[in-house]
Structure 1
Amino acid sequence: MNKPKKPAFKPLDCDDMERSIQLCNGIEYLIDEFQREINGKEAVQLFNSNYKGHLLKVVSHLEELIHRLTYLTAKNNKEFYYEHLYTILISLNSCPNALIITAHYLDPDQEFKRLLNRNTFEFELGQIVKKIQFIKNVLGSLSIGRKSGVRNINHYFNQTKRTA
């Protein structure tokens, strides 16, 4: 008979963990929706308060995710949880900045407008999506108490730092 696998660690199955995973899904969806909305538009057509609002909604979700992860990190001082949650926070901390700056320049009421460099902006969005997808996997592993999703976390974030 096969014995059921025991979790390697006590699972972090709390409301903050569930909400964090929901936020990751929401951020992915909002970014995908935004990219579909601006697809094929000229840079001048992007000066629209709807686009600004959409980006700020993504920023709001990112900020809530950072806040919840900060709470989870402080609450779970065990080395295993702290190390992985803290590493996630470090990588995620600067993500809202590019979106806030872009939203500022897409504001049609802004006196000094700046055209959006689509390649650079799409690269930034791609980086955010990659981080969110990876973070979602790590959070899923932590929520059930397994190491499987967190094994390569240090390798992943060390590699990300070198390319940034």
Structure 2
Amino acid sequence: MAAAKKPVYKPLDCDDMERSIQLCNGIEYLIDEFQREINCKDSNQLYKHEYQSQLLKIADNLEELIHRLTYLAGKNNKEFYFNHLYAILKSLSCAPNALIITAYYLDPKHDFKRLVNRNMFEFELSQIVKKIQFIKPVLHSLSVGRKEGIRSISHSFSKF
């Protein structure tokens, strides 16, 4: 009879970690929903408050995720946790910027409109999704205190 795997480290099974994982799932969903809504639309058809609001909601969720992970990194400053949480924070710290800037340009009240470069913007969105998809298993592993599922995160984020 195989023994149950014991956690290697004390699990980070707190409300902040649970909320961080929920935020990751929510961010992925919101980005997917936004991309489906703007699919096949011309850049000049994006000047609507609803699109601006969706981008700001995604940015708010990213900011909350960054805030919660910053708190967790500071609270759990043991090297194992801190290194992984810090690497995640480093990769996510600028992610909301592209959304906030694009939301600013999509404000229909501006007299002088600037067209959004769809290719570059979709690239930015895909980078955010890739980062979120990468950090979810890491957060799950940290929440149960296991090393498995945690790759060499600091090296992996250098490609983002």
TM-score band by shorter chain is over 0.9
Distance 1:45 1:159 in 2: 33
Moved more, 142-151 or 33-42: 142-151
Contact 1:104–1:110 (CA<8 Å) still a contact in 2? Answer: no
Counterpart residue type for residue 95 of structure 1: A
Distance 1:3 1:84 in 2: 28
Distance 1:112 1:7 in 2: 57
In the other structure, the counterpart of 1:2 is: 2
Distance 1:25 1:110 in 2: 33
List structure 1 segments (4+ residues) > 2 angstroms apart after TM superposition: none
Contact 1:74–1:82 (CA<8 Å) still a contact in 2? Answer: yes
Structure 1 unmatched runs, 5+: none
In the other structure, the counterpart of 2:135 is: 135
- What secondary structure does 1:3 align onto? coil
Query: Superposition RMSD on alpha carbons, in Å?
Result: 0.8
TM-score scaled to structure 2, two decimals? 0.97
In the other structure, the counterpart of 2:77 is: 77
In the other structure, the counterpart of 2:89 is: 89
Distance 2:110 2:135 in 1: 34
- Count of residue correspondences: 160
Distance 1:15 1:145 in 2: 15
Structure 2 unmatched runs, 5+: none
Distance 1:146 1:95 in 2: 27
Distance 2:47 2:86 in 1: 37
TM-score scaled to structure 1, two decimals? 0.95
* Percent of aligned pairs with the same amino acid: 71
In the other structure, the counterpart of 2:158 is: 158
Deviation at residue 152 of structure 1 after TM alignment: 2.5
Distance 1:137 1:5 in 2: 17
